[in-house]
A and B are shown apart, each in its own frame.
Chain A
Amino acid sequence: GAVVSQHPSWVICKSGTSVKIECRSLDFQATTMFWYRQFPKQSLMLMATSNEGSKATYEQGVEKDKFLINHASLTLSTLTVTSAHPEDSSFYICSARVLTPGQGIVEQFFGPGTRLTVL
């Protein structure tokens, strides 16, 4: 299957600083990537849909000025958590969408996640 990587795998930062998380599709091109947030023992919550070359589409309740998403190429999307605070501590997961031509089958391949801890 397609491989998606994330970097870093974990990061600890001080309150008020910004953190950038990278999501890469290693062996395929992804016009669409998704960013999720996962709280302990809970499901994944979609934060935003990232489309290459255009602005991200944010889900209701997600602050676009706080969670900056850039999808500058077909293999890279970045999520920047600006002015991070302890409540932003979470597990952030990206995925890349693959559409099977002619079948309408949509699959998403997930990165391993990034654990963010804000002190």
Chain B
Amino acid sequence: GDSVTQMEGPVTLSEEAFLTINCTYTATGYPSLFWYVQYPGEGLQLLLKATKADDKGSNKGFEATYRKETTSFHLEKGSVQVSDSAVYFCALSDGGGATNKLIFGTGTLLAVQP
């Protein structure tokens, strides 16, 4: 079945460092890809998304490009802030499926130190 694999955390960075969180997927169709962020004590929020190959999703300085050839959707940010500390989840959705379920990776905890 479809699955998402993302790098294990925690990832600890200093403020203004460059961030990469790797995410790869396995899917039989052509899924939509998402990054969600979960701040401490809160629910998930959609950070960015991409619906087809070569699409780049971006929001709040974060970017991710849908790479079909490498089945990847790595999350990047050029300069992280303390306020970016959260758990980041990569997810896919089979847009053509009857239920359109989201399948999540295990999450990566990011801790940004001042």
Contacts and interface: CB of A to CB of B under 8 A. Distances in A.
Contact of B107 (A32, A42, A57, A109): A42
A95 B34 CA distance: 15
Contact of A113 (B43, B49, B93, B95): B43
Interface residues of B, number: 22
A106 B100 contact: yes
Given A104-B95, A105-B32, A105-B95, A46 B43 contact: no
A15 interface: no
B100 A99 contact: yes
A43 B105 contact: yes
Contacts of A103: 51
Main secondary structure of the interface of A (DSSP, over half): strand
B100 A93 contact: no
Interface string A97-119: 10100011111111111000000
Contacts of A105: 32, 49, 51, 95
Size category, A interface: 20 to 34
A32 B97 CA distance: 14
A26 to B, nearest CB: 14
Nearest to B42: A112
Given A106-B93, A106-B100, A113-B42, 9 more contacts: A43-B105, A43-B106, A43-B107, A44-B44, A44-B104, A49-B101, A105-B51, A108-B46, A112-B42
16 contacts: A4-B43, A32-B100, A41-B109, A42-B107, A43-B106, A93-B44, A99-B100, A104-B95, A106-B32, A106-B93, A107-B46, A108-B93, A110-B44, A110-B45, A112-B43, A113-B42
For the complex of A and B, the 3 pairs showing the least CB-CB separation, nearest first, are A112-B43, A110-B44, A106-B100
Interface of B: 32, 36, 42-46, 49, 51, 89, 93, 95-96, 99-102, 104-107, 109
Interface of A: 1, 4, 6, 32, 34, 41-44, 46, 49, 57, 93, 95, 97, 99, 103-113
